[in-house]
Amino acid sequence: MANAARSDSGDNLVQALSAPARLAPESGIVEVMNYGRRSCRAVMPLWAGEGDLPTPAFIQEAAAEGLRRGETFYTWQRGIPDLRQALAGYHTRLYGKPFEPENFYITGSGMQAIQIVLAMVAQDGDEVLIPTPTWPNAAAATGVIGARAVEIPMTFGNAGWTLDFERIEQAITPKTRALFLVSPSNPTGWTATLEDLRHTLAMARKHGLWIVADETYARFWYGEGERAPSYLDVMEPEDRVLFVNTFSKNWAMTGWRMGWILAHPSLGQVIENLIQYSTSGVAQFMQRAGVAAIEHGEDFVAQQIARSRESRDIITTALGASPRVRFGAPQGAFYLFFSVDGVKDMRQLAFRLIDEGGVGLAPGTAFGAGGDNYLRICFARNPEHIRQAAASIVKVLES
């Protein structure tokens, strides 16, 4: 078995795979991460969408306590009732309208929520519209089910990034089944206005499309109020909108792989079935951590947001002072997506920033059409580190 790694047979095996599996792309961030990991110098890892804080102890303890209680048996596919109830309360508070436990379905990561929701709305030969630059996994997951991700580049101008409604509508074909929108956006920080949401919703209604709303970064919002504008603000219950979300960012739980779907209760049996035939649920003791996060995690979330806000101000001020650097100030999420006048090969610049600056960024090429001339920096970290990283970046750019 093992030795065959060195034989020619491997190519034959890969060629015998299904096309969607064989053609699934490697993550474009990984190449730079691997380069950085091989580097001799210490590299500040700002390439991933992850902060520098471990999960708070009270959340960890809830999982450990569940383990000690022996919560190691099969559990509800839809999620444990306590967690679904907690999510209903959380959304009722945050969105000012009533939610019930039957609106919520626990998944083994936000990514799995996306995978399940994509399977719900699209199949082989269908098309899903995805404004870009964006986190690449939704497009790749669309490809895995044999559907086609149609990238709709956003416009970058004096107003920062904007959605081009006309371009979206022109891309709709009889095969189009859904619009996948990440707001606040990873990597640009662009955040849909209520008007953007109303307009795209009207378009979806007109053409019978689903909207998949990835509101992972809803809490990381630098405008008024405690969260970004949401389709929940503008939709009717019977609209074809499915929400995907995750515990990863708000509660520093990236490694836990736990997320949720928010959907109309009539879709519950279908979601349960798709969970059953993919991972069959999330460990009960892990879900206890989710309950603790939601019920006792607001102080931590507030700290995380305050920290991101400070780091955002630091990085935008430092890079904004460099005449060659261009970006739209992020309205939400915790990334700065910037280009540098006169630099075409951002992959090479990413390598230089590792070698000369000790800072690891993600190349914009990883984020689909319109991202090629950019780099993404994640600023969900200690503001002092971001200050140092900003200084290093500016120094490399000026050298």
Q: Does 399 bind a copy of itself (CB under 8 A)?
A: no
| Of residues 20-49, those binding a copy of itself (CB under 8 A) | 20-22, 24-27, 48
| Of residues 286-315, those binding a copy of itself (CB under 8 A) | 286
Rounded CA-CA distance 216/212 in Å is: 12
Going 270 to 271 to 274 to 277, the CA torsion angle's sign is negative
Q: Which of 93, 265, 341, 348 binds a copy of itself (CB under 8 A)?
A: 265
Between residues 21 and 321, which has the closer beta carbon with respect to a copy of itself?
A: 21
Q: Which of 249, 257, 376, 381 binds a copy of itself (CB under 8 A)?
A: 257
Q: Which of 267, 343, 369, 396 binds a copy of itself (CB under 8 A)?
A: 267
336 phi-psi bin (left φ>0, alpha ψ -120 to 50, beta other): beta
| Of residues 115-154, those binding a copy of itself (CB under 8 A) | 115, 119-126, 137, 140-141, 144-146
Query: Which contacts (CB < 8 Å, 24+ apart) does range 37-43 have?
Result: 39/354, 39/355, 41/354, 41/355, 41/358, 42/358, 43/354, 43/358, 43/359, 43/360
Strands (E), the chain: 44-45, 104-107, 127-132, 148-153, 155-157, 160-162, 176-182, 210-214, 241-246, 259-262, 325-326, 335-340, 359-360, 362-363, 375-378
Q: Does 382 bind a copy of itself (CB under 8 A)?
A: no
Q: Which of 108, 229, 297, 368 binds a copy of itself (CB under 8 A)?
A: 108
Q: Can you read off the two tokens belonging to residue 201?
A: 């919703």
Q: Is 239 exposed, middle or buried (0-12, 13-18, 19+ CB in 10 A)?
A: middle
Q: Does 374 bind a copy of itself (CB under 8 A)?
A: no
Q: Does 252 bind a copy of itself (CB under 8 A)?
A: yes
Cα 81 to Cα 78, 94, 173, 311, 397: the distances in Å are 9, 20, 41, 37, 53
- Choices 154-162, 165-173, 247-255, 295-303; region in contact with a copy of itself by CB under 8 A: 247-255
| Of residues 315-354, those binding a copy of itself (CB under 8 A) | none
Q: Which of 83, 87, 105, 109 binds a copy of itself (CB under 8 A)?
A: 109
Between residues 286 and 375, which has the closer beta carbon with respect to a copy of itself?
A: 286
| Of residues 71-90, those binding a copy of itself (CB under 8 A) | 71-75, 88
- Choices 217-225, 254-262, 340-348, 355-363; region in contact with a copy of itself by CB under 8 A: 254-262
Between residues 18 and 158, which has the closer beta carbon with respect to a copy of itself?
A: 18
